[in-house]
């Protein structure tokens, strides 16, 4: 029977513990663990959160687009409703052109140089009103484009939903009405206009919208509320361009949470949020979705909710910016996938 040396032409190295210089593909015997190990590719769900540069202006319930080394954050609550837009280079944030319409609870889609700001709560003399307004970002300025269908017909239902996708192919789903009822509505953006599509199975608001286009998305977590009651949900649904299908629940239901693809909707994370079974608790938990199940992975250093976050397809790492703890904060964290991971060879 051939041995490893006969097949590969060299012996397996023995070492106490794991090597300091790790190269993907290396095989070795760990004499401390008495186990044969190898160095595999990194990637999710192996990763960590690292501190990034603070926003120039602290705010919560803001929109985000892009990814960890090229992000965009806009709108939010300062505590007043904000028009501010900031651009991130992976190290620091800098102010760029303002939104045309000040708003909080705004959702984002797209990249740093080509994004959408969707819906939100805009100021009026009496206080605030939900809006279906959509603005498009070209890297230098915002331009108002077509309103959500729901916003044009019933402005009170234009906010608290979830958005994702890119500038020319996006979704906005869920949300709430002025009377306190949650919605299952789903709208698709084709680069020119919004159109109503198949509703979600579970009506909810303040969840994580994650997706790469108007044909591939996840709705994860959120809140279901009726007058006098607010309930966390762990519900997750997957959109295929035609219909929503219920898939595995999050491990922890929560609202005001964020999510991002790490390349696709079957390689995604949800992080942070607010646990309404204990209203003052800001969640730090991060969960990874592989297309069938959610797994708990590295926590945020600081639990927060209502953050601006990335959500771009194919982006290199996710970011979480601002939010509330419950105090409004300016901090940024970046999720970085590991370059490698150590695997133990098992024999049965």
The answer to whether the bond into 56 is cis (omega within 30° of 0) is no
Is 62 or 26 the better-scoring residue by pLDDT?
Answer: 62
Instruction: Kindly tell me if the per-residue pLDDT of 4 is higher than 60.
Output: no
pTM, two decimals, is 0.84
Give the position of tokens 């949300």.
175
CA distance 166 to 116: 8
Give the position of tokens 């590991």.
338
- Position 3 confidence tier, pLDDT thresholds 50, 70, 90: low
Condensed to tens digits (0 to 9), the pLDDT of residues 130-164 reads: 788 999 999 999 999 998 887 544 444 557 899 99
CA distance 301 to 161: 26
Percent of the chain with pLDDT over 70: 82
Q: Is 173 exposed, middle or buried (0-12, 13-18, 19+ CB in 10 A)?
A: buried
Helix, strand, coil abundance in the chain, percent, nearest 5: 5, 45, 50
Q: Which residues contact 258 (CB under 8 A, 6 or more apart)?
A: 64, 208, 270, 271, 272, 273, 307, 308, 309, 320
Q: In 3-state terms, what secondary structure has residue 155?
A: helix
Handedness of CA 51, 136, 61, 268 (dihedral sign): negative
The confidence score (pLDDT) of residue 38 equals: 63
Q: Do 64 and 72 form a contact (C-beta atoms < 8 A)? A: yes
Q: In 3-state terms, what secondary structure has residue 230?
A: strand
Q: In the chain, what are the domains? A: 4-41 (no CATH), 47-337 (2.120.10.80)
Six-digit token string for 220: 């994860």
Q: What are the residues facing 208 on neighbouring strands?
A: 220
Condensed to tens digits (0 to 9), the pLDDT of residues 30-48 reads: 787 777 766 665 555 667 8
Q: Do 109 and 166 form a contact (C-beta atoms < 8 A)? A: yes
Condensed to tens digits (0 to 9), the pLDDT of residues 257-313 reads: 999 988 788 889 999 999 988 777 899 999 999 999 999 998 999 999 999 998 665
Q: Which residues contact 179 (CB under 8 A, 6 or more apart)?
A: 156, 227
């Amino acid at each position: 029977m051939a041995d490893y040396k006969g097949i590969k032409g060299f012996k397996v190295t023995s070492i106490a513990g794991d090597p300091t210089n790790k190269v993907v593909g290396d095989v070795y015997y760990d004499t401390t663990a008495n186990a044969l190990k190898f160095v595999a590719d990194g990637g999710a769900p192996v990763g960590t959160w690292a501190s990034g540069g603070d926003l120039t202006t602290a705010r919560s319930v803001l929109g985000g687009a892009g990814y960890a080394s090229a992000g965009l954050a806009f709108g939010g609550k300062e505590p007043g409703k904000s028009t501010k837009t900031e651009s991130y280079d992976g190290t620091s944030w800098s102010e760029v052109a303002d939104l045309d319409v000040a708003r909080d609870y705004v959702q984002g889609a797209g990249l740093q140089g080509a994004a959408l700001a969707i819906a939100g709560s805009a100021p009026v003399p009496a206080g605030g009103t939900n809006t279906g307004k959509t603005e498009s970002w070209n890297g230098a300025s915002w331009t108002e484009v077509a309103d959500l269908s729901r916003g044009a017909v019933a402005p009170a239902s234009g906010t608290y939903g979830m958005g994702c996708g890119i500038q020319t192919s996006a979704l906005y789903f869920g949300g709430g009405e002025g009377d306190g009822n949650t919605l299952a509505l789903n709208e698709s953006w084709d680069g020119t206009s919004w159109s109503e599509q198949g509703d979600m199975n579970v009506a909810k608001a303040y969840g994580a919208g994650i997706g790469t286009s108007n044909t591939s998305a996840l709705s994860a977590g959120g809140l279901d509320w009726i007058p006098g009651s607010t309930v966390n949900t762990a519900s997750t649904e997957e959109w295929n361009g035609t219909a929503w299908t219920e898939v595995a629940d999050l491990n922890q239901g929560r609202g005001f949470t964020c999510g991002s693809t790490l390349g696709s909707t079957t390689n995604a994370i949800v992080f942070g949020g607010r646990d309404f079974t204990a209203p003052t608790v800001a969640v730090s938990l991060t969960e990874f979705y592989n297309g069938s199940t959610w797994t708990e992975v590295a926590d945020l250093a600081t639990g927060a909710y209502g953050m601006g976050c990335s959500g771009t397809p194919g982006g290199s790492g996710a970011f979480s910016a601002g939010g509330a703890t419950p105090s409004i904060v300016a901090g940024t964290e970046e999720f970085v996938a590991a370059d490698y991971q150590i695997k133990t060879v098992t024999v049965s």
